[in-house]
Structure 1
Amino acid sequence: MNRLHPFSAVSMALQRAITGFTLPFFLVIFLASVVDVVDASWAFVLGVIGLLAGVAYGLAYYYRFEYGITPDTFDVQSGVISRRSREIPYGRIQNVDVARGVVQRLLGLAVVSIETAGGGNTEATLRFVSESEADRLQHQIRRRTAEIKDRQRSRERDTETDQRGESTDATPGSEAPSPDPDPRSEREEHVDPTRVETGYRSRRQRLFDLQSRELLLYSFTTFRPAAIAAVLFVFFLATDTILEYMVTVANPVGGPEDLENGDTGSYGILTVVSMINGLLITYLLSVAYTFATYYDFRLGRVDEDFVYERGLLQRYSGSIPAEKVQSVTVTANPIQRLIGYAGLWIETAGYGPDSSAGSQSAVPFAVRRRVYTFTENLTGVERPKFQKPPTIARRRYLVRYSIVAALFVAVVYGITRISPLEGWYFAAAVFVVVPPAAHLRYVNLGYYVGSDHLVIRRGFWRRRTTVIPYYRIQTLSTRRSIFQRRLGIASLVVDTASSRTFFWATPTIYDVDLEDARDVQGTGRKRLQSALRERARSDDVDISVDFT
């Protein structure tokens, strides 16, 4: 069993020391303010005791944390008071992710996270190990996972051979020749581990690099919702400073001189200027976040796994097992579609897009035709011919968006009744965008029932075209709301084993005729069974790791 890097002991001791000092310190300060029995001077005594206890606990946790690689499992033992032992089979390991921050790279350290299928959670985290140890763990686990796959396939081939041999052995005196030993297995039994690692690293094949021009275009044409949270966080930390800045910026264009002195018009100008500044700052933060996240993005392959590296301040590297791929999604927002670009994302079992810092991006940004070619080569899907929902769906969207617009006008009217603002009727202009919004929602929907894949397209602001092999489908369910039942339409939900995030809902064929939904459901079930039978007879994972 191995221990973490010695710096881990320092890091754990500092973290526990800070926690051990602050908790009793502030607790005593609070109790002293409400209870006369408690003396505030106790805070320093208990704080020091907590600090020493935290240091001792952090050091004990370091010495009690051990990990090791066995032939079949990756083992982790941890815990000071309650001992925990975990044995993680290589067949369940989804990804070995290595993260290196700026300080960690200066110190030659890394954080290794081992993800498993079935939820996308981190099963084990090694904080910290040396960079060479992180690379060794990645390569060793990947190699042993490949060996397990080879043994499983070998057993399946032996089973098929035995079944065939039973029919030929019926002839008296006939004897099946003994198979020749696998020279590769004999060679691997006596090979030096260092030579294996060197050879394993040398077999990496480069598939895609994100060029500087593509990175800049991707950064400026992508909006990250996390930027909104960052702006709100900064606002709450420095509210007075930010308000003063907004007043200073708005004053030259008609805003108030200060928050206390102003009229309705100046406050309105301040509101508009503040919104514009907020949107601009949020957008620039989003650009910086995307640039730092996907800086120097590289995608390659090692055996049957995709491997990637990315990141400026925080450097990530990991792998995507090809056999775990559930579906492939092409994404593009309106600006990206206008300039002819798109992105390609891979969803794996228990590990969805943009989960765990977006590690499943295969091609973040490239020319759209190139991305479509990648998708066809990766999945083997034929060029889809999409079927659209019936026109009654467009009428449904028109009614839905009209209701939303009416609610918006009602809210604005209510605000004008309780504030100095006037002209609520200007909000009625929102009804102008209702018809084009309903039309854009309708024209961006479509589905294609292929021979081996189901393809679903939806979304305008971020159009997503998802290619799902039939053998990856978990369930096909028809969903109908009370309004859909009245219109005779339904939505078909196609669920796979991949996890979903708040921004990536389960692929759904929206608002098609009920009979069409039932036909697709029946066809999908039949082709699912045939695809499973075909897959059982073949060792192919149906995903091409040479998709470029």
Structure 2
Amino acid sequence: MTAPAPVPGAPTPGPAAETEWLRLDPRTIPATTAVVAGALAAAAVPVAIGMLLSGLAVGWVLLWTIGGTVLGAGATAVSETIRLAVTTYRVDAHRIDRRVRFLASTTTSLSTGRVRNVEISADLVQRRLGIATVKLASGETGGSRLTFAALDREVADDLRRHLLAGRSGTDSSEVVRLDPAWVRYAPASVMTPLFGLAGIGIVFQVADWFGAAPEVLQWIWDRIGEWPIPVIAAGVVSLALVMGTIASVAMFIENWWGLRLDHHDDGSLELRRGLLVGRHTSFDGRRVRGVTLHEPPGFRALGAARLDVVASGVGTGKDEDGKQKQSPPLVPASPREVPAGVAEAVLGEPAPTRFRAHPPAARRRRIVRAVAVVVVVTGFGAVPAAIWPWLWWVPLLAAALAGAVGLWAALDNSRGLGHAVTGGVVALRKGSLMRRTDVLDRDGILGWNLRRTPFQRRAGLVTLVATAAGGGGAFRLPDVGLEQAPELWRTAGPVWDHLAGA
């Protein structure tokens, strides 16, 4: 096999190059300092408002906000200078190493042959200065991940080509490009009302920091205190939805602006996206194990879906900050035929659209759980009614709302529950509010786990969990009929037939 081309600025592989270490680009110091200073300046605005509402003098407000911004930016510049001084790296034909020498010396090493995913990102300041952050992921489940912040942009691009050993240079075709009209699907996410409630909570939290929360609440109550409670509740919900919609649209534009997804002849994928922070991510086609379609109720009502990739080395284990890695998204919320077409290009065959339904016992289990939730919610609603008799309507309203939502969720969940097995893939669909369809390459399934609770045993049901090197590593399908289970576990080979005796 032809050896990969050397990286510009990197040592030439050989015995003499073993001790040659390179440093990160010094332009990362002003870049990081500028970003932190901008964030602090933006945060200083609501802080200043809160201080003024609490009665603090203008001079003190300016001292705390401007002084805090300057102090924070200075501390960032010092920490970045130290990080640059203690961090070095080297690349040869076989390994890439990063060493940090401060109070102790730590060296992280990654085989270049195991690098499966490379992400190059650059925010506005980094793009202006010509640098970028490089993130590398290996192919192992929970495997190594290295981050280099930051390198010269040309060096970063050459490093990507070097580590992918020319795989990214094969012929490719464009699979999808962003349609600005897709932004209309962003508010249909289940996160939209949560974003709005979080925004309202932040406002009151900032006011509470400066002891202005009582004044803010009093100001609001003076204007709406005489309104009927249902009107006030509807107003709060409407405000949350408006704020959530603005946040969802803003996040969609930031994350997906300039989207372009290319599919190489060897199965590799290249994803470019981002407005303020541009990202260029490469996925090794030999490590792509499937895709996941996300279809919450809002998306289904509009005929939309979102697509994530399931690949070894990404979405498994934890990152350098100790946080659980998430499967990277490939396509944002868009007309369902768009992610379905991308799924077909990635998998090599169409994603199944007809699913085998699970037994009626699965629906009964969901209805029983919904009834239990209604009982609990009604019990909580009865507490204030027992203390204040004039609130007699609270448990009735709680029972009605919980019953309507619970019954709908139970029936919608049972309708969505299903699976499909074709010659090349296995599709597992479940959920209601978080409806997802995991479409896994049969060759990428490592095995199956079988789980049964006493209630499932009585109902003749079983939960199957597919193990694959990608995504969360485990893909759960609940309440499968016993007669349906062999069709699924045999996709990992006849050796798994021993599960029949479990």
TM-score between both structures, scaled by the size of structure 2: 0.74
- Which residue in the other structure is 2:186 paired with? 219
Seen in structure 2, the aligned counterparts of structure 1 residues 134 and 528 have a Cα distance that, compared at 3 Å, is farther
Amino acid at match of 1:222: S
- Which residue in the other structure is 1:285 paired with? 247
- Which residue in the other structure is 2:273 paired with? 310
Structure 2 counterparts to residues 422-501 of structure 1, below 5 A: 422-423=392-393, 424-429=395-400, 430-500=402-472
Q: 1:375 aligns with which of 337, 343, 356?
A: 343
Q: 1:521 aligns with which of 476, 489, 492?
A: 489
- Which residue in the other structure is 2:41 paired with? none
Q: 1:352 aligns with which of 308, 315, 337?
A: 315
Contact 2:442 2:492 in 1 (8 A): yes
Q: State the Cα distance separating 1:445 from its structure 2 match.
A: 1.0
Seen in structure 2, the aligned counterparts of structure 1 residues 319 and 359 have a Cα distance that, compared at 3 Å, is farther
- Which residue in the other structure is 1:297 paired with? 259
Q: 2:362 aligns with which of 373, 379, 393?
A: 393
Q: What SS is found at the alignment partner of 1:238? A: helix
CA distance in 2, matches of 1:463, 1:53: 45
Q: State the Cα distance separating 1:319 from its structure 2 match.
A: 0.7
Structure 2 counterparts to residues 499-514 of structure 1, below 5 A: 499-500=471-472, 506-514=474-482
Amino acid at match of 1:427: A
- Which residue in the other structure is 1:208 paired with? 176
CA distance in 2, matches of 1:396, 1:318: 42
- Which residue in the other structure is 2:162 paired with? 140
Structure 2 counterparts to residues 10-409 of structure 1, below 5 A: 59-119=81-141, 123-143=145-165, 146=167, 205-214=173-182, 216-224=183-191, 227=195, 232-239=201-208, 254-255=224-225, 270=232, 272-302=234-264, 304=266, 305-352=268-315, 360-381=328-349, 383=352, 385-409=354-378
Seen in structure 2, the aligned counterparts of structure 1 residues 317 and 288 have a Cα distance that, compared at 3 Å, is same
Q: State the Cα distance separating 1:404 from its structure 2 match.
A: 0.5
CA distance in 1, matches of 2:488, 2:480: 10
Q: State the Cα distance separating 1:275 from its structure 2 match.
A: 4.1
Q: What SS is found at the alignment partner of 1:81? A: coil
CA distance in 2, matches of 1:432, 1:87: 55
Q: What SS is found at the alignment partner of 1:474? A: strand
Q: State the Cα distance separating 1:425 from its structure 2 match.
A: 2.1
* Structure 2, unaligned runs of 5 or more: 1-20, 37-72, 498-502
CA deviation vs aligned residue, 1:259-280 (integer Å, no higher than 9, x gap): xxxxxx7667545533442343
Q: What SS is found at the alignment partner of 2:484? A: helix
Seen in structure 2, the aligned counterparts of structure 1 residues 470 and 84 have a Cα distance that, compared at 3 Å, is same
Amino acid at match of 2:307: L
Which stretch has the larger CA shift, 123-132 or 378-387? Answer: 378-387
Q: State the Cα distance separating 1:102 from its structure 2 match.
A: 2.2
Structure with greater proportional strand content: 2
Q: State the Cα distance separating 1:58 from its structure 2 match.
A: 5.5
Q: State the Cα distance separating 1:230 from its structure 2 match.
A: 5.6
- Which residue in the other structure is 2:54 paired with? none
Seen in structure 2, the aligned counterparts of structure 1 residues 453 and 204 have a Cα distance that, compared at 3 Å, is closer
Q: What SS is found at the alignment partner of 1:515? A: coil
CA deviation vs aligned residue, 1:26-46 (integer Å, no higher than 9, x gap): xxxxxxxxxxxxxxxxxxxxx
Contact 2:306 2:334 in 1 (8 A): yes
CA deviation vs aligned residue, 1:184-208 (integer Å, no higher than 9, x gap): xxxxxxxxxxxxxxxx769564321
Q: State the Cα distance separating 1:322 from its structure 2 match.
A: 1.0
Q: State the Cα distance separating 1:399 from its structure 2 match.
A: 1.0
Seen in structure 2, the aligned counterparts of structure 1 residues 335 and 485 have a Cα distance that, compared at 3 Å, is same
Seen in structure 2, the aligned counterparts of structure 1 residues 378 and 106 have a Cα distance that, compared at 3 Å, is closer
CA distance in 1, matches of 2:384, 2:314: 44
CA distance in 1, matches of 2:217, 2:245: 17
Contact 2:137 2:313 in 1 (8 A): no
Seen in structure 2, the aligned counterparts of structure 1 residues 374 and 528 have a Cα distance that, compared at 3 Å, is farther
Which stretch has the larger CA shift, 119-128 or 102-111? Answer: 119-128
CA deviation vs aligned residue, 1:267-325 (integer Å, no higher than 9, x gap): 67545533442343233212221221111111114563211111112211111111111
Contact 1:327 1:467 in 2 (8 A): yes
- Which residue in the other structure is 1:8 paired with? 28
CA deviation vs aligned residue, 1:96-153 (integer Å, no higher than 9, x gap): 2122122222322222222223355762222222222222222222236x4xxxxxxx
Contact 1:349 1:499 in 2 (8 A): yes
Q: What SS is found at the alignment partner of 1:508? A: strand
Q: State the Cα distance separating 1:347 from its structure 2 match.
A: 0.9
Q: State the Cα distance separating 1:328 from its structure 2 match.
A: 1.4
Larger Rg: 1
Q: State the Cα distance separating 1:9 from its structure 2 match.
A: 5.0
TM-score between both structures, scaled by the size of structure 1: 0.68
Q: State the Cα distance separating 1:359 from its structure 2 match.
A: 7.0
CA distance in 2, matches of 1:473, 1:107: 44
Amino acid at match of 2:448: L
Seen in structure 2, the aligned counterparts of structure 1 residues 381 and 126 have a Cα distance that, compared at 3 Å, is same
Q: State the Cα distance separating 1:59 from its structure 2 match.
A: 4.1
Q: State the Cα distance separating 1:212 from its structure 2 match.
A: 0.9
Seen in structure 2, the aligned counterparts of structure 1 residues 515 and 441 have a Cα distance that, compared at 3 Å, is same
Q: State the Cα distance separating 1:519 from its structure 2 match.
A: 4.7
* Structure 1, unaligned runs of 5 or more: 17-50, 147-199, 257-264, 530-548
Amino acid at match of 2:298: I
Seen in structure 2, the aligned counterparts of structure 1 residues 92 and 229 have a Cα distance that, compared at 3 Å, is farther
